[in-house]
Each structure stands twice: as C-alpha cells, then as structure tokens.
Amino acid sequence: MASNGRGNGGGGGRSKVRGARRPELRLPELRGFEGGEVEPDGDYDGVELRELDLAGQDGAGATFMDCALTGCALDETRLRNARFLDSRLTAPRGVGTDLADATLRDVEVTDARLGGTQMFGSVLERVVVRGGKIDYLNLRQARLKDVVFENCVLVEPDFAGARMERVEFVDCALKGVDFSSATLADVDLRGAVELGITAGVDRLRGAVISTAQLLDLAPVLAGELGIRVEE
C-alpha cells in the first residue's frame, strides 16, 4: 500500500498515514467530438470535447471513457449518474453543474472554475483535483477513496455524511468546510494552507492535522466541547 511518508515513524507505536493512490492516465489518440450535444446514456470512448458550450445539455447516465474535456462550459449541464473513467477534465467552468450520483474513477480535473456543483451521492476513486477554484461543492453522502485536492481553493465545500478514505489536501485552501456526520479514514489535512471548519469538527477522528492547525481550531474545538475560555 502506498504511503505519503508523512506519518509518525519509529517506536512510538503510531502508524503512518496511508497516502492516496493517484491516477496514472495514458490517454490514447483522441478523435474530435462530432455530435452537437451530449446525450442521455450516451457512450463516448476516446473522444475529445474541446472548447464546447455544453450549458443546459442533458448527458445524464452517459459514460466517458478515455476522454478529454478541455475548456468546456458546463453551466447547469445535467450529468447525473454519468461515469467518467480514465479521463481528463481541463479548465471546466460553469455554475450549477449536476453530477449527482456520478462516478469518477482514474480522473484528473485541472484548473476548474465551478460554482454550486452538485455531486451528492457520487463516487470518486483515484481522482486528482488540481488548481482552480470551486465554490459550494456539494459532496454530501459521497464516497471518496484515493482523492487528492491540490493547489486549489474550495469555498464552503460540503462533505456532510461523506465517507472519505485516503484523501489528501495539498497546498489548497479549505474555507468554511462542513464535515457533519462524515466518516474519515487516513484523511490528511496537514497540507492545507487554510483550514476553516464551520461544522463537523467532532467528526475529525481519522484525520491528521498539524500542530499549527490544532491551535487555529482550538476555539472551534472548545466550543464543540462546551469549554469556556477566559483570560
């Protein structure tokens, strides 16, 4: 099992944090997308969708395998129950994209500019989200395994009820995150350059934070435990 090597070693008896396994994409030679719109339950294999306006289109239940989506507009695009397998999404942008109950496996998402993306109930496995900014990402009741958020900004992400295993936050800002009712295992928050938790601080069992982050979270932890701090 891969490890990020950040855990506590030596004879202290404390095990290392298990690091996330990243996808290893090797896309084949892609052909251009010839359809005018994505279709419900569509089957797309080895296709590149480049600089397309997919706003408002319905691709619910579609499967994208060995595909690249580059610079596409996804405003209110319906991709509920869609499957992205061994694919790369570069510079997706849009508000209100519906990816509820979707599956992302061996996927790279780079330089996203998204707002209000609905991914509740989705499954993410071996996924890297690198760069960009995502506002109000809804991952309620989602399952995340081997997922890395790297060098990105997440504003008020909602992980309520999510199951998170081997998830890393590297050089990214977490602003107003909600971990209510979430289940965490080997979730490494030490690399977050900003960590603001508005709900669910009591669900951090299974996460690893730094000493500095612990001090920053002290007022929230005290409030959760009902501790009154006075000078």
Share of the chain above pLDDT 70, in %: 94
**Strands 103-115 and 123-135: what pairing?**
parallel
Q: What is the CA radius of gyration of the chain?
A: 19
Residue 99: closest CA among 160, 43, 140, 148: 140
Helices (H), the chain: 211-225
Cα-based angle 174, 54, 75 (whole degrees, multiple of 5): 40
Q: Is the pLDDT of residue 14 over 60?
A: no
- Beta-carbon contacts of 215 under 8 Å, excluding residues fewer than 6 positions away, are none
Decide: 118 and 137 in contact? Cβ < 8 Å.
no
pTM summary value: 0.89
Instruction: Express each pLDDT in 94-132 by its tens digit.
Output: 999 999 999 999 999 999 999 999 999 999 999 999 999
What length does the chain have? 231
How far apart are alpha carbons 55 and 108 in whole angstroms? 21
The band of 225, judged by pLDDT with boundaries at 50, 70 and 90, is confident
Q: Which two tokens stand for residue 209?
A: 């934070």
Q: Which residue has the higher pLDDT, 224 or 177?
A: 177
Show the DSSP H helices in 64-192 as ranges: none
Q: Higher pLDDT residue, 8 or 35?
A: 35
